[in-house]
Copies of this chain bind each other. A is one copy, B any other.
Amino acid sequence: MCHNSTEINRQLRKRGYRVTPQRQLILDAVCQLGKHVTPEAVYDQVHRIAPTLSRATVYRVLHFLTEQRILTMVHMADGRLAFEMAGPEPHHHLVCRSCDSLLELPHSVLRSFRQAMKSQYDFETDVSHVSFFGHCTDCHDSAGA
């Protein structure tokens, strides 16, 4: 279990919602599958365990958990929709185009960039999650850059 289900369940109940087996399965799936989990991947995973669990429920629960700030939603640079556990810390990712590996970056890596945008353009950059693409150390010399 990669999330504190007791605490999450308590929060949800406190807000008047129910913690159904479907919601638990979907949350577990997002957790297990890691970062940038697509709705289809969640569906595949939970459908094996609970074949009657429908795509509609997957989408509804993913959006519900996002509203409840238990998940965060990301649109990736290739247009795919994805979710991941909402950590307490906002952060960013480096995504390898070759092997799909993820590196997590602290929010602070963009601090000076944001300050520059603020001072140069008076633009308040809102970067709660940005993914940058490229090639990781294992891939950028073997594969073509």
Contact = CB atoms under 8 A, between A and B. Distances in A.
Interface string A126-137: 110010111111
A135 B126 contact: yes
Interface residues of A, number: 32
A126 B133 contact: yes
Given A75-B79, A79-B79, A125 B117 contact: no
B94 A117 contact: yes
Interface string A1-32: 00000000000000000000000000000000
A62 to B, nearest CB: 14
Nearest to A117: B94
A69 interface: no
A119 to B, nearest CB: 12
Contact of A75 (B75, B113, B130): B75
